[in-house]
Amino acid sequence: MKTDRAFTRAIPAALVLTGMVLTLLFIVAPLIVIFHSAFSKGLSFYVDSIGDPDTLHAIELTLLTALIAVPVNIAFGIAAAWAITKFSFRGKKLLTSLIELPLSMSPIVAGVSYLFLYGMQGWLGPWLQERDLQVMFALPGIILVTMFVTSPFVARELIPLMQAQGNDQEEAATTLGASGWQMFRRVTLPNIRWALLYGAVLCTARAVGEFGAVSVVSGNVRGETNTLPLHIELVYHDYNVVGAFAAATTLTVIAMLTLVIKTFIELRIRKAGQSTTSL
């Protein structure tokens, strides 16, 4: 009887310990090895790697891509969530699945799809060529495919939240004479701001880190159409492993910031949830 109780008390400890050790080995160790490798040739090598013109250009291109793709997908996410949660119409479920479609598609498949649309062997390629418009293997292609891959992130955070919040507050505002924009800014936006921010953060993290889809459409021209993840691959295959890790630390820091912001926002949402339930 006594050993039985000791046994049941040991189970939680064993489970927690197993979970912690597995997480440290499986998820935390890769994080540590990135920084360990990046600084393995000393600080000056690290600074030189980051300051390399090709690296700087890749960072610039990556930021530019995110700067265009993320705001567009924020607008798309808000519009989609508004249409889906505030009104009833046929085919709503299908629309929701369509919005989530890019999440379950391989990035390579996404890239190939764009190639068969805008590339020379695709539908629009010859037409674009005649007008001297370069989409594939150029910046427009990189931005378009990034928009594809990151399109679900904001909508996906907003839809369940706005569904749970219902229409009452907005309807009251409209009935009291608020214009559409006033109602959105004063009622909806404050209610959804944390989820919106969270969606935007996830969207940004993916936009700066997308690799597979972009590598199909970029053409990999060093110093021209190489985004940061592609640049990392290139440097890695140049047998400059330490340089690759140095460049990778920039994206790793962004990823870690994402996690910190996410944790902060979740605390906020939890607090907000508690204050509304206690009302």
For residues 14-33, which are near another protein according to CB under 8 A?
15-16, 18-20, 22-23, 25-31, 33
Nearest distance in Å: CB 128, another protein? 13
Which DSSP string corresponds to 128-197? HHHTT---TTSHHHHHHHHHHHHTHHHHHHHHHHHHHH-SHHHHHHHHTT--HHHHIIIIIHHHHHHHHH
Indicate the SS3 state at residue 217.
helix
Buried b (16+ CB within 10 A) or exposed e, 132-171: eeebbbbbbbbbbbbbbbbbbbbbbbbbebbeebeeeebe
> How far is it, in rounded angstroms, from Cα 46 to Cα 67?
27
Q: Nearer Cβ to another protein, position 57 or 251?
A: 251
Structure-token pair, residue 145:
């495919």
For another protein, the closer CB: 46 or 148? 148
Residues 29-68 that bind another protein (CB under 8 A): 29-31, 33-34, 37
211 near another protein, rule: CB under 8 A = yes
13 vs 43 by CB, closer to another protein:
13
Q: Do residues 37 and 245 make contact, with C-beta atoms less than 8 angstroms apart? A: yes
Name the minimum Å distance from CB 11 to another protein: 7
To the nearest whole angstrom, how small is the minimum distance from the Cβ of residue 242 to another protein? 10
Site string for another protein, 115-154 (x = CB under 8 A): xxx---xxx--------------------x--xx--x---
> Under rule CB under 8 A, which residues in 169-198 are in contact with another protein?
170-171, 174-175, 180, 183
- Check binding of 248 to another protein (CB under 8 A): yes
Q: Which residue number, 57 or 247, has a Cβ lying nearer to another protein?
A: 247
Decide: is 99 part of the binding site for another protein (CB under 8 A): yes
How many whole angstroms separate alpha carbon 142 and alpha carbon 202?
18
